[in-house]
Structure 1
């Protein structure tokens, strides 16, 4: 799973300019130049103030190790290994550092649309595959447009229930796949973010559109209500389902007549925000945990209701077979 896949869950913050670092103690970074020392302090202060696990970190040790690793750094760039080391010590496995030359990746990367696909399976079961998506607003809009159109066409063909396949949702933006899945999820709260100090941001679906609190996260253009409202849904996950894929997985947890199949997810169900440092580098910092609609906070891999580790051989898909077998037993698909 690439770093790009793993960072880009957008939360309530956009880009924070971190300009004022605290004054380090005389012992911290005594061998560094003043410029390098202030820069490393700036980054460490950000982590200490806003990281998800900040209360569990031995900051005295982390800071001492970072300044020791920076050695005799003269420039901000020479402190980058120390910053990466400190991020690794946070324990969230989701924060990431982008030097100035790579900072554009923190804004989404190139415009390549890997569009959702949908089709009808036997027994009138609809199938929707939601791959990962990353890029600009234009990329997300095109992903949503194509995904909504594909899902609507499958629904018109007659879908009594749905398989939502997240096995290739390895991370990126969470709102575009939620916008495609919105009509299947149904209106109402579906999850949220929570920070260590208890601040919450609620995810919901309204008229098929995903919201964070009262802010729509996608256009309503192309939203098509389902022919069969509130259908049974089978969610497919794999070990590569991560970050944004885990957010979509969480959105289905607690939904009525819904069951998940496959393997446990990657294990980073957390919210990140980008923070720009004084030289243009960006720290994408994990600052929030994710909760499902019941209020349960998720930490680590998400286990499906029915774990299936049978390897798929050519022409077979045991996870999909188990999901369609369950859907076929549901009243909506029996009639």
Structure 2
């Protein structure tokens, strides 16, 4: 399973592995950076790499501190124009760190400890008929996220809902694993979408997020987040053939868009809202030494209807609506804005009656 874990907190380094060595030499880091770009970048052909390579090496030849390389790396990545690649830096301990030390810290830190507000979980049975669940972005506390969404699904399923409404208007990314974990019985296909690299090679993605591909690091990730527990298997729902509404906004991005793609095209699914942000590309993480993590766009999304998304192309909803200028300026969590989305969903569902 190619998970494409995309963290929304760049300062928290997840995939800090030794696969690319523990070099602390600035020149070697620049060479490694260029090698990864040339070998893996989806937008590799958008730049003249030979001249860009010479320019970067020349610009950084007098840089001795590796922390000073970040602005040069960021400038180079902007030339790819893939809108999704990024570079993260933390000042590493001079002593060798076990690759799993970072992963353990990541797996056990809470949103409160990281200095971020808690996730906005919300569910309700609207008008006594329609099950509503907000699907927030997620970067930490995977198990709590999975358990919370599972509990909400079970509680609402017991109320005999006539439809499901999943709200991803606030979801700007994170990890797709917890987002889709509990959705298995609501998705009608095992393969939900694909990633396509620049050579046209396609890799299908399964809805079974609770299964690893045998990768040692991924298995360690599941172990530390305590995701291997049998009690954490996806909930089984009764009301699976009712209409499903996905609410999207311009903020819906990255893994939030992959969540939409997993459903869009299914017969009982309707996407309502605005065109999504356009980060419909898959990123792969490449550690550079002990202090850098290159989050590089390596693939683009191909949905279940065989639509291959271009760089920067968002998902167009089945029912598109726009706000007036005043509401466009408000936060997506504004109650008035939320009401507009919910009204659109409810109008559609009632029209089906």
Q: By the TM > 0.5 criterion, same fold?
A: yes
Aligned to 2:294: 283
Deviations 1:203-228 (A, max 9, x none): 2335xx56677999866625332222
TM-aligned CA deviation for residue 79 of structure 1: 2.5
Unaligned runs of 5+ residues in structure 2 are: 1-5, 94-101, 112-117, 328-333
| Equivalent residue for 2:272, pick from 245, 255, 261 | 261
Segment of structure 1 superposing worse, 213-222 or 86-95: 213-222
Aligned to 1:157: 159
CA contact (8 A) 1:237 1:304 kept: yes
Aligned to 1:37: 27
Aligned to 2:119: 114
Change (3 A) 1:82 1:150: same
Aligned to 1:188: 190
The alignment of Structure 1 onto Structure 2 pairs a total of residues equal to 308
Segment of structure 1 superposing worse, 287-296 or 102-111: 102-111
TM-aligned CA deviation for residue 147 of structure 1: 0.7
Change (3 A) 1:297 1:6: farther
Change (3 A) 1:307 1:328: same
Change (3 A) 1:72 1:78: same
2:320 is equivalent to residue 307 of structure 1? yes
2:351 is equivalent to residue 329 of structure 1? yes
Aligned to 1:26: none
User: In the aligned structure 1, how far is the partner of 2:295 from the partner of 2:301?
Assistant: 17
Deviations 1:290-328 (A, max 9, x none): 221223222222221222212558556222111122122
Aligned to 2:115: none
TM-aligned CA deviation for residue 148 of structure 1: 0.5
CA contact (8 A) 2:263 2:269 kept: yes
Q: Secondary structure at the match of 2:183?
A: helix
Q: Secondary structure at the match of 1:284?
A: strand
Aligned to 1:297: 308
CA contact (8 A) 2:16 2:287 kept: no
Higher strand share: 1
Aligned to 2:3: none
Which portions of structure 1, spanning 4 or more consecutive aligned residues, are displaced by more than 3 angstroms? 13-16, 102-110, 209-220, 311-316
TM-aligned CA deviation for residue 199 of structure 1: 3.2
- The equivalences for 1:45-84 within 5 A come to 45-70=35-60, 72-84=62-74
CA contact (8 A) 1:149 1:222 kept: no
TM-aligned CA deviation for residue 89 of structure 1: 1.2
| Equivalent residue for 1:229, pick from 232, 236, 240 | 240
Q: CA RMSD in A?
A: 3.3
Aligned to 1:31: none
- The equivalences for 1:126-205 within 5 A come to 126-135=131-140, 139-205=141-207
Change (3 A) 1:79 1:108: farther
User: In the aligned structure 1, how far is the partner of 2:167 from the partner of 2:34?
Assistant: 39
Segment of structure 1 superposing worse, 274-283 or 219-228: 219-228
Change (3 A) 1:101 1:328: farther
User: In the aligned structure 1, how far is the partner of 2:18 from the partner of 2:278?
Assistant: 26
Change (3 A) 1:7 1:86: same
User: In the aligned structure 1, how far is the partner of 2:89 from the partner of 2:257?
Assistant: 27
User: In the aligned structure 2, how far is the partner of 1:36 from the partner of 1:214?
Assistant: 34
